[in-house]
Amino acid sequence: MAIPQWRSIPTVLYPQEILDKAFRKASKQSDLVEDPDKYHRVRKQMVRMIQSASDTIDSTLRNWVDKWPSLNALSEFDRALIDAAVGNDDYRKSLGAIQWAAERVRKISGESESKILRLRNIESFHEARRHAYGRISSIVHQISPQILWLGEAREILRKLPSVDSDEPVIVVAGSPNVGKSALIGALSSGEPEVAAYPFTTKQLHLGHFLHRRRSYQMVDTPGLLDRPMEERNLIEMQAIAALENIGDILVVLIDASESGGSQLDEQYNLLDEIRSLVTERPILVVYSKSDLLKEIPEDAQHLISTINGEGIEELRDIIIQIIGADRINNPLILPENWHIEENSLEPLGTKYEIEKRREMDN
């Protein structure tokens, strides 16, 4: 599956900006036409202007379609993420409308050029060019809602993480303000937004750490509230998308100190819901903010504090062990996706031959 590069999505111009750009280039093209005969010169100019304007609009629109990730080429997680963030139906319809407009503008150009070649006076050439401009402008304005939608969606999608399914993925979930972002910051080299005061993550963040040359990705999800699925907002649905579709392991944080504002029974209810959603991947329940606990819960097996560092390295080791990405079942076969530097391994036969030659030389 392709890894979407959200930050490389091109800037989306406003509809009038597209037209201004196209017609400005077209005017410059007309100045490049040379012909001593005014009749032929004007006809060539009008054809060149229509071609230039349509080429500019066509290439601009098609560039958006080509550069925006195709839903069919994405993983189930990325499709779910787009659906939660901006809506898959609107995504498809908007790009489809852009594609249609590019094809329509190209067709108008061809029809107008053919019409001009049949005309026989200079004023008709100018009138045909103005008519073509009007039709092209009408098409662009017709898809204005889709263009504006793309511009707004781009700002949202550019903030999404690009998760590599070939590397281990750790999803961190829990109620708001239980310390998910702080844990990501403590475990990984990523820099998710972390504050010393209660707040909730507004979107997915991605951090990572290295172990034996392998990158372990950590996805920091927005906080989930203990409420029915139909009442969850788009930010919460991003977390649900991550829970349901990615992760070699799910780390659920419980704040038994209740300092983040979520009652313990609400957090346990959320844990039960997460367990019903995630049935085929290991779930590791971790109690955060141990430095604030006056009494340790009886079922607390894993305690951590990002303030004093308690349990952080131990948690990393446990996660690596559970995922088992580097576990070797057959000692003669390297783990899948193991990173090997070129020329770092010399064939055994070569070493043997070198030793033999040395013995013969001596």
Mean pLDDT score, 106-132: 95
Confidence of residue 208 (pLDDT cuts 50, 70, 90): confident
Q: How far apart are CA 94 and CA 154, in angstroms?
A: 12
pLDDT for res 196 = 39
Taking the CB of residue 180, how many other CB atoms lie within 10 A of it?
Answer: 31
pLDDT band (50, 70, 90) for residue 4: confident
Residue 261 has pLDDT above 80, yes or no: yes
The residue that leads in pLDDT, 321 or 337, is: 321
Q: At 207, give phi and psi (nearest 5°).
A: -125, 175
Distance CA 157, CA 81 (A): 9
Phi and psi (nearest 5°) for 200? -120, 145
User: What separation in angstroms does the CA of 255 have from each of 33, 176, 201, 316, 349?
Assistant: 73, 10, 16, 19, 58
- Closest C-alpha to 37, from 127, 122, 123, 116: 122
What's the rounded Cα separation, in Å, for the pair 97 and 198?
43
How many other C-beta atoms can be found within 10 angstroms of the C-beta atom of residue 325? 17
Q: Is the pLDDT of residue 339 over 80?
A: no
Residue 195 has pLDDT above 50, yes or no: no
Buried b (16+ CB within 10 A) or exposed e, 21-53: ebbeebeebbeebeeeeeeeebbbbbbbbbbbb
Question: Which phi and psi (to 5°) does residue 173 adopt?
Answer: -135, 170
Cβ atoms of 252 and 174 closer than 8 Å: yes
SS3 content of the chain, % helix, strand, coil (to 5): 55, 10, 40
Query: Domains of the chain, with CATH numbers?
Result: 6-157 (1.20.120.1190), 169-323 (3.40.50.300)
66: pLDDT strictly greater than 70: yes
Inform me whether the pLDDT recorded for 173 exceeds 90. Answer: no
Question: What DSSP letter does each residue of 274-335 carry, written as one string?
Answer: HHHH--SS-EEEEE--GGG-SS--TT---B--TTT-TTHHHHHHHHHHHH-TT--SSTTSPP
Rounded to an integer, what distance in angstroms lies between the CA atom of residue 194 and that of residue 179? 9
What is the model's pLDDT at position 225? Answer: 60
Q: How confident is the model at residue 330 (pLDDT cuts 50, 70, 90)?
A: low
Q: Who contacts 261 (Cβ-Cβ below 8 Å, separation ≥6)?
A: 176, 177, 198
User: In the structure, what pLDDT confidence band is assigned to residue 75 with cuts at 50, 70 and 90?
Assistant: confident
pLDDT at residue 327 greater than cutoff 80? no
Mapping DSSP to helix (H, G, I), strand (E, B) and coil, where does residue 227 land?
coil
Residues 160 and 236 sit within 8 Å (Cβ to Cβ):
no
pLDDT at 218 over 80: yes
Q: Is the pLDDT reported for residue 281 higher than 90?
A: no
pLDDT in tens, 135-165: 999 999 999 999 999 999 999 888 877 888 7
